[in-house]
Structure 1
Amino acid sequence: MAKYLLLKHYRGAPAPVNDAPMEQWTPEEISAHVQYMRDFAARLKETGEYIDEQAIAPEGAFVRYDGEGRPPVTDGPFAETKDLIAGWMVIDVDSYERAVELAGELSAAPGAGGKPIHEWLELRPFYSEQSCVTE
């Protein structure tokens, strides 16, 4: 099994096919989108492929160590930027091919007008030490 992170970008590049901004969706369209993701996660829980997920608020800050004392904090990210991570899901699957299959399915979540948004999801494997064979 291998763990993968699915990053859900809001209005990222390249833009989804059905690119109406979420703030223009009706409450019913938002509910359908969220329900699709809940149903997707529930199905993966049943197969044992689900680890965790979380939506992320648009507010935030950048923090870095400066070697001095209190680290500097800069406002951001900002919702008006080209790319904002809106949430994530961690899955544990048998293969990269299965991770791609699931990411493609999640990409079909409905948006405005109930049409699949075909959004790009960032698929990132968790870093792991390579197995070594000792004789």
Structure 2
Amino acid sequence: MAKYLLLKHYRGAPDAVNNIPMDQWTPEEISDHMQYMRDFATRLESTGEYVDGQALSPEGTFVRYDGEGRPPVTDGPFAETKDLIAGWMVIDVDSYDRALELAGELSAAPGAGGKPIHEWLELRPFMAEPPTVTE
């Protein structure tokens, strides 16, 4: 088994199919989208492939060590930014191909009019310990 992080990117542009920005979806469309995410996670829980996941608020703060003892803090992400990490999910699957399959399915979450939004997902494997060599 290998763990992968699925980062949900909202690119700040209208969705790929309907040309309607997410902030203009109806409450029902938002509810349907969120239910799709919950159903997806529940299904993966039943197969043992779901580890965890959360939606993220659009507000955030960037922090970086400055070498002086007090890190500089910058507001962000910003509204004019094209990319926003909207949420994440961790899966634990048998292969990279399975991770790709699930990421593609998650990208099909419904948006305006109930059509798949073709959301960008970043698929990142967790770092693993190198194999131990014994002689």
Quick check: TM above 0.5?
yes
What amino acid does structure 2 have at the position aligned with 1:74? Answer: T
1:24 is aligned to 24
* 1:38 and 2:42 matched: no
Alignment of 1:113-124 (within 5 A): 113-124=113-124
1:79 is aligned to 79
The 8 Å contact of residues 17 and 118 in structure 1, kept in 2 or not, is answered as yes
1:61 is aligned to 61
Over aligned residues, Cα RMSD in angstroms? 1.5
**CA offsets 1:83-115 (integer angstroms, 9 cap, x no match):** 010100000000000000000110110001110
Instruction: Classify 1:115/1:33 alpha carbon distance in 2 versus 1 (closer, same or farther; 3 Å).
Output: same
The 8 Å contact of residues 5 and 124 in structure 2, kept in 1 or not, is answered as yes
1:64 Cα deviation (Å)? 0.8
Aligned partner of residue 104 in structure 1, secondary structure: helix
The 8 Å contact of residues 5 and 124 in structure 1, kept in 2 or not, is answered as yes
Aligned partners of 2:79 and 2:52: how far apart in 1? 24
Aligned partners of 1:80 and 1:89: how far apart in 2? 25
Percent identity of equivalent pairs: 82
1:77 Cα deviation (Å)? 0.9
TM-score, scaled relative to structure 1? 0.93
Aligned partner of residue 35 in structure 1, secondary structure: helix
The 8 Å contact of residues 11 and 84 in structure 1, kept in 2 or not, is answered as yes
Aligned partners of 2:70 and 2:52: how far apart in 1? 32
TM-score, scaled relative to structure 2? 0.93
* 1:133 and 2:133 matched: yes
The 8 Å contact of residues 5 and 89 in structure 1, kept in 2 or not, is answered as yes
